Amino acid sequence: MIITYRKELRDPESEIIHKDLILKKGYANVKKVTTGKYFSMLVESDTKENAISTVRELCEKLRIYNPIAQEIEVFVRE
């Protein structure tokens, strides 16, 4: 699972990394940086869809992310 800021909101950490590190060191071809959090979970489930649903549910119920400012991307690695 990856948690990032919603596209319509500022991501101050990525802005600093892009402006004050990457561009200042001459990497002008890098046009955008996005930061986020990465979680790896091992979920036992009968289907891929149920595993994704479980992770989404626990993220919302346990407030692992802020749904107002952030979005999650849940995927299954096989």
Could you tell me the residue ranges of all domains in the chain? 2-73
Who's near 59: CB < 8 A, 6+ residues apart?
A: 1, 65, 72, 74
Residue 55 and residue 19: Cα distance in Å, rounded?
A: 34
Is the confidence at residue 77, as pLDDT, over 90?
Answer: no
Who's near 22: CB < 8 A, 6+ residues apart?
A: 30, 33
Architecture per CATH, 2-73: 2-Layer Sandwich (3.30)
Segment 24-57, tens digit of pLDDT: 999 999 999 999 999 999 999 999 999 999 999 9
Please provide residue 77's backbone torsions phi and psi, each rounded to the nearest 5 degrees.
Answer: -95, 135
For the residues 15-32, what does the mean pLDDT come to? Answer: 96
User: So what's the pLDDT on residue 58?
Assistant: 96
pTM for this prediction: 0.79
Q: Nearest 5°: CA angle at 51, between 47 and 57?
A: 140
